[in-house]
Structure 1
Amino acid sequence: MNDDIRTVQSFLQSVHPYDTLPQDELARVAGSFGRRHLATGAEIYAYGEPLSGLFLVETGGIEILDRNGALVSLLGPRNSFGERGLMRGGLAVTSARTTEDSELLMLPEAEFRHLVATYPAFERYFNRSRGAEARAVDLTTRKVSELMARKPVTCAPGTPVAEAARVMRDAHVSSLGVIDGAGKLLGVLTTRDLTNRVLAEGRNPSVAVSEVMTGDPVSLPPNAIGSDILHLMLERKIGHMPITENGRLVGMVTQTDLTRFQALSSAALIRDIAGARTVAEMAAVTRRIPQLLLQLVGGHHAHEVTTRLITDIADAVTRRLLALAEAEIGPAPVPYLWLACGSQGRQEQTGVSDQDNCLMLDNSTTADDMAYFIHLAKIVSDGLNECGYVYCPGDMMATNPRWCQPVRVWRDYFRGWIATPSPEAQMLASVMFDLRPIGGSAGLFSEMQAETLEAASKNSIFVAHMIANSLKHTPPLGMIRGFATIRSGEHRNHIDMKHSGVVPVTDLARVYALQGRLTPVNTRARLLAAAEAGIVSPAGGRDLLEAYDLIADTRLEHQAGQVRVGAAPDNYLAPPDLSDFERSHLRDAFVVVRTMQSALGHGKGALS
């Protein structure tokens, strides 16, 4: 095997679905790829032309255009393109050209068809995913790592503003990242800053950038999605979003970068919420969420994208309510943090959501201060209820004095639950391990989260109790190739797709996160992190992830179907409403979950 084939094989091991191939087959396939180096602006193929094979981006960038020349998607390394045409008669259904110097790998058409016909993973991936080429125009679903400028233009804090302006002019950018010698982001300097803080104020052009920049700016990590950028820009009224990793600047996204993308209506809802002056105005916005759910599911978006966008709306409502509350009762006497747990905490809200939240207060909080936070909690909780996020039946809300406490009390809570894992402690720990900051001083939680995960993972008795607690919700499997449905009541002969469907996987993922001291809260992110950390085996992690995707997708499709006919969405699915094919695959997914539960219960943690 020559070095080039080895290089291609190594690259393919990081690309799905090639990573599912046996090693000998992967080596054979790697040898069948051709390589093309193309300069910026080169046409790869035009609409209607015969395609010679499937393209895979190794380095560089590609833009996909429709037959009218409108941008459909921007692609980067590890992205494939051309399969839609190959699957539809061999003629290109889009045009493709490079946006920068690019290295492309090309799989011959015959080899592509062989893989699709031979390996189910290829058939599933290439038959399903290129909704993605048509959908990638949606900013909200794009990874930030694909949107950002990979080499941000920067300067040091001591740079004179005149020199910084020349750098911006020569680089054709509207902002600079201000960094220290280690690459840590200190601030952002924009053309607006030069206008408002230098020219308008008549300041000397030799003044240092550090005196006029926006210091300590809000930033996002590369694994965020486009909706995070859009929502923050709308809420904060900013036009530049730095992308940081471990504090270091790795990219910059601007409003100009986003103009080529068409945002989904979730962005419009966020905009309307950010500008709402009353709770009634916000409630009018949240009443449009079921239609958004229908739109997202109808567009075949992945369940984790749909639930993330819906949760973003709840986050925006919460933050707007906090701002309205402070405008009504004055600023907080001490720092505080509003957190969500439950489905909002995990960013997994669907068309049916109650509220689960709490308040962490600075340790300097006095007894007199508590009256303020009791009032704040009531305003926000009542507002959430009016907006459709109904009061939690279990009273897991900041209006409950138990869940509105200084950080030191919260530390005592977690220490007590870990030291004495009673049934109530297990339940509360399960809820509170899904906490996510929404508004306020996030630093009140981050240090305690790390401490709690470490302490909990080291306590084998607590972990054992958490494992036992995670096995209480079981998939609805009948004895003979059927489902165990609800036996009586309003939902007789239905499956509870929440408590018997997604919750068993959510519980497993939470235990894996505990065992591995993993900080993600989202269920799918926890499963991916657990597989990467070796908490579950590669085969077990992959099977559970695919099972969870099918279960979660089925739940959302059921809810969208109810919205479509004018009914309120719920979690109760009648098996006869599914086709034989769908019932078979759903049952197989439940079998995987049951098997993973059994493995965890026997101390194996994963399928072999």
Structure 2
Amino acid sequence: MSDMAELALVQDFIAECLPFDSLDDEVLAALAPQLKVAYFRRQHRFGPADGDGLFILRSGMVDEQQESGLLQRLESGESFSPNVAKDADADSRYYLAVEDCLVYRLPENALQALRRQHRHIDRFFHARAERRLRRAARYRGQPSFLMQPVTATMSADPLQLSADTSIKAAAKAMTERRVSSAFITEGGQLRGIITDRDLRSRVIATERSPEQPVATIMTAQPHRVSPDNSLFDAVLSMTEHRVHHLPVVDDAGQLQGVLTTSDVNVAREDDPIFFVQRLSRLDSVEALQAQLARLPSLFRQWVEADTPAVQITQLTTAVSDALTRRLIQLAEQQLGPAPCDYCWMGFGSQARGEQLLGGDQDNGLLICDSASDADMDWFARLADFVCSGLDQCGYDFCPGDVMAKSPQWRQRARDWEATVDAWMRSPSSDAVMRISIFFDLRAIAGKREFADRLQQHMLTHSQRNTIFLAALAENVLSSSPPLSLFGRFILERSGEHRQGLDLKKRGVLPIIELARLHSLACGVSEVNTHRRLQALVKAGAMTLLDSRNLEDAFTLINRIRLQQQAAQIAAGETPDNYCDPRQLSRLQRHHLKQAFRVVHQAEEIVKLRYRAGA
């Protein structure tokens, strides 16, 4: 990448960072060359040896800490000054890199000159100390389902009765509403509660007349929670007081809703960890199908909660992994135990841990060399059961038949090695397509070492096969990002998604294929795209700056995909990978074009390094 291109990327980055976003292009252009690039390893504690001035995080995370604990966590785009004079009560404050960090450092003399020239910049840094506590208070780790407010889970229209309502009328009203509790109110003010249990223990068991008023059996002034309380607070109260119904009452004493143990269980099912764990306990394909039907709603919640894109793809992949393993277990219960060792492999986005919604299944079976023909028949039945189950649960059959139920994707270990060798010896367009799918593989169930050995076999043979790498490079260059020479989006010209952008095929896929190509050439065993790019830096095959830029581009495009899919789910549409750039904000369009330019620059390196087959 040229120096001018690097400076342009630096300028574009700081233009989106506070407070530099308020500066005009001329000032930013003069500022960019003054920035010093520095790289700091995870667990680095910043000190005087790192230089003075302002540190702007290009990537990674830094914690500002004291002996009492974390003050705030800084992420990409945020800045800090670790070596300025500290106030008297902050002698113990320090900054610690919690991830590998790439930093742009603006030296102190340049920073002070900027502050003298631009009063609003000076005011920003003068006021930053006042914001420190506020930002620290806003910081939260990964949210738990128990931290949401009770209002997000409660039933907002509880059954309300007057104190003189008869027990019989109350029971009838509860039956009609299909609820297990009713609240006795007066002018909206809570006076008491009755439950199904009260009807059994205080009416039927004591032979009380059903014509008596509910006031005679209600629990007066029941335990309650405030709308501001968290679900954690409510569960704690339920446990402490041994109740299953908690009225939600505001400061004015008005009944706002009711929280039941059933509501808590429903909320718990929205927790991703519980969702995945529950899959392993369901005992039929139909039950799995019903559970997976809830995934789009859960996916939308993750996106709307601003969960990082990489975490969402990991969560959706964890769901498909758990589903696959449970289907294999159900198949073995039906077919009997496996006749020999095997490995169920996931390919593509599942292998990389980068799944979103709307994808099909890509999988295969790697079977022990000792398997007889009768054994292979058993694995054919296993594959049919699992692949059909995945299809029923929303992971469609692969149009290209890349599935374990197809004999060519269900082989003994020695046959797999021969197949891969044949693909690399004669890299036709079809073979390159199959290799591109197969080289992203991961063991989902069974003997992981089988997949590891096959992957090592592939890496060993691909490193020295220049003809194969050249063919793979041609495939990489055939899917360039949709950006013209003049910086305009190249939109789909026909079909259902005319005037749209395919963010998967023309956005993230070029980055995935670039990372895969370099990894195969260098013998890098990582499969996940982020980890591949990081490993390529360690292998000396890519500069840190190029790697970080590609990671940022990959994350940004995926984030837009996530937002588009969440919006489609909210509108009742089937999520896909297309986006209309007219629906994006100006800033999003600008960032997307920058991401596409990064990929174009990376493809120029591919042209020089691989196309000659050298």
TM-score normalized with structure 2 length:
0.61
Find out whether 1:478 has 2:484 as its counterpart. Answer: yes
CA distance in 2 between counterparts of 1:595 and 1:17 reads: 31
Residue aligning to 2:439: 433
Other structure's SS at 2:344 match: strand
Q: 1:16 to 1:426 in 2, by over 3 A?
A: farther
Alignment of 1:257-296 (within 5 A): 265-296=271-302
Residue aligning to 2:64: 56
Q: Contact conserved, 1:476 with 1:484, CA < 8 A, in 2?
A: yes
Other structure's SS at 1:489 match: coil
CA distance in 1 between counterparts of 2:516 and 2:63 reads: 38
Q: 1:80 to 1:285 in 2, by over 3 A?
A: same
1:64-104 Cα offsets, whole Å, 9 max, x none, are 7xxxxxxxxxx9xxx659x99999xxxxxxxxx9xxxx975
Alignment of 1:392-407 (within 5 A): 392-407=398-413
CA distance in 2 between counterparts of 1:378 and 1:132 reads: 50
Find out whether 1:105 has 2:132 as its counterpart. Answer: no
Residue aligning to 1:28: 52
CA distance in 2 between counterparts of 1:280 and 1:387 reads: 8
Task: Give the Å deviation of 1:350.
Answer: 0.7
Unaligned runs of 5+ in 2: 1-35, 56-61, 82-89, 97-107, 116-120, 147-267
Q: Contact conserved, 1:355 with 1:390, CA < 8 A, in 2?
A: yes
1:428-465 Cα offsets, whole Å, 9 max, x none, are 11111001100111121212211210211121221111
CA distance in 2 between counterparts of 1:16 and 1:440 reads: 36
Residue aligning to 1:592: 598
Q: How many residues align?
A: 414
Q: Contact conserved, 2:345 with 2:451, CA < 8 A, in 1?
A: no
Q: 1:24 to 1:508 in 2, by over 3 A?
A: farther
Task: Give the Å deviation of 1:319.
Answer: 0.2
State which of 442, 450, 453 in structure 2 corresponds to 1:447: 453
Task: Give the Å deviation of 1:295.
Answer: 1.4
Q: Contact conserved, 2:417 with 2:457, CA < 8 A, in 1?
A: no
Residue identity over aligned pairs, in percent, reads 33
Residue aligning to 2:313: 307
CA distance in 2 between counterparts of 1:457 and 1:544 reads: 23
CA distance in 2 between counterparts of 1:84 and 1:515 reads: 36
Find out whether 1:354 has 2:354 as its counterpart. Answer: no
CA distance in 1 between counterparts of 2:588 and 2:423 reads: 41
CA distance in 1 between counterparts of 2:343 and 2:43 reads: 40
Other structure's SS at 2:445 match: strand
Q: Contact conserved, 1:426 with 1:465, CA < 8 A, in 2?
A: yes
Find out whether 1:14 has 2:21 as its counterpart. Answer: no
Other structure's SS at 1:603 match: helix
Alignment of 1:456-495 (within 5 A): 456-495=462-501
Q: Contact conserved, 1:477 with 1:590, CA < 8 A, in 2?
A: yes
Q: 1:496 to 1:360 in 2, by over 3 A?
A: same
Other structure's SS at 1:474 match: coil
Other structure's SS at 2:139 match: helix
Residue aligning to 1:555: 561
Q: Contact conserved, 1:359 with 1:398, CA < 8 A, in 2?
A: yes
Task: Give the Å deviation of 1:16.
Answer: 10
Q: Contact conserved, 1:475 with 1:504, CA < 8 A, in 2?
A: yes
- Which amino acid is the alignment partner of residue 371 of structure 2? T
- Which amino acid is the alignment partner of residue 279 of structure 1? V
Find out whether 1:330 has 2:340 as its counterpart. Answer: no
Task: Give the Å deviation of 1:588.
Answer: 1.2
Q: 1:446 to 1:305 in 2, by over 3 A?
A: same
Residue aligning to 1:339: 345
CA distance in 2 between counterparts of 1:418 and 1:552 reads: 31
Other structure's SS at 2:573 match: coil
Residue aligning to 1:254: none
Q: 1:574 to 1:16 in 2, by over 3 A?
A: farther
Task: Give the Å deviation of 1:468.
Answer: 1.4
Other structure's SS at 1:359 match: strand
Other structure's SS at 2:140 match: helix
1:320-363 Cα offsets, whole Å, 9 max, x none, are 00000000010011111101102111111111111000000000
CA distance in 2 between counterparts of 1:562 and 1:599 reads: 37
Q: 1:55 to 1:354 in 2, by over 3 A?
A: closer
Other structure's SS at 2:553 match: helix
- Which amino acid is the alignment partner of residue 400 of structure 2? G
Q: Contact conserved, 2:54 with 2:80, CA < 8 A, in 1?
A: no
CA distance in 1 between counterparts of 2:518 and 2:551 reads: 13
Task: Give the Å deviation of 1:419.
Answer: 2.0
Q: 1:103 to 1:465 in 2, by over 3 A?
A: farther
Other structure's SS at 2:609 match: coil
Unaligned runs of 5+ in 1: 1-8, 32-53, 65-74, 88-96, 141-261
Residue aligning to 1:527: 533
1:381-440 Cα offsets, whole Å, 9 max, x none, are 000000000000000000000111100000111111222222222111111100110011
CA distance in 1 between counterparts of 2:499 and 2:306 reads: 28
Task: Give the Å deviation of 1:56.
Answer: 3.0
State which of 424, 429, 432 in structure 1 corresponds to 2:430: 424
Residue aligning to 2:570: 564
Find out whether 1:539 has 2:545 as its counterpart. Answer: yes
Residue aligning to 1:505: 511
Residue aligning to 1:133: 139
Q: 1:290 to 1:131 in 2, by over 3 A?
A: farther
- Which amino acid is the alignment partner of residue 595 of structure 2? A
Q: Contact conserved, 1:12 with 1:18, CA < 8 A, in 2?
A: no
Q: Contact conserved, 1:131 with 1:300, CA < 8 A, in 2?
A: no
User: How large is the RMSD of aligned CA atoms in angstroms?
Assistant: 4.1
CA distance in 2 between counterparts of 1:582 and 1:327 reads: 50
Q: 1:540 to 1:12 in 2, by over 3 A?
A: closer
Residue aligning to 2:395: 389
Q: Contact conserved, 1:339 with 1:359, CA < 8 A, in 2?
A: yes
Task: Give the Å deviation of 1:480.
Answer: 3.2
Q: Contact conserved, 1:276 with 1:282, CA < 8 A, in 2?
A: yes
Task: Give the Å deviation of 1:587.
Answer: 0.9
- Which amino acid is the alignment partner of residue 541 of structure 1? S
CA distance in 2 between counterparts of 1:604 and 1:425 reads: 18
Q: 1:135 to 1:535 in 2, by over 3 A?
A: same
Q: Contact conserved, 1:57 with 1:80, CA < 8 A, in 2?
A: no
Other structure's SS at 1:602 match: helix
Q: 1:457 to 1:437 in 2, by over 3 A?
A: same
- Which amino acid is the alignment partner of residue 105 of structure 1? Y
Q: Contact conserved, 2:145 with 2:271, CA < 8 A, in 1?
A: no
CA distance in 2 between counterparts of 1:595 and 1:503 reads: 15
Task: Give the Å deviation of 1:594.
Answer: 1.2
Q: 1:138 to 1:393 in 2, by over 3 A?
A: same
Which one has a bigger Cα radius of gyration?
2
1:45-77 Cα offsets, whole Å, 9 max, x none, are xxxxxxxxx96359x89367xxxxxxxxxx9xx
Q: Contact conserved, 2:352 with 2:529, CA < 8 A, in 1?
A: yes
Other structure's SS at 2:516 match: helix
Residue aligning to 1:71: none
Q: 1:55 to 1:280 in 2, by over 3 A?
A: closer
CA distance in 1 between counterparts of 2:514 and 2:408 reads: 27
Q: 1:584 to 1:270 in 2, by over 3 A?
A: same
CA distance in 1 between counterparts of 2:502 and 2:313 reads: 18
TM-score normalized with structure 1 length:
0.61
Q: 1:598 to 1:447 in 2, by over 3 A?
A: same
Q: Contact conserved, 2:303 with 2:562, CA < 8 A, in 1?
A: yes
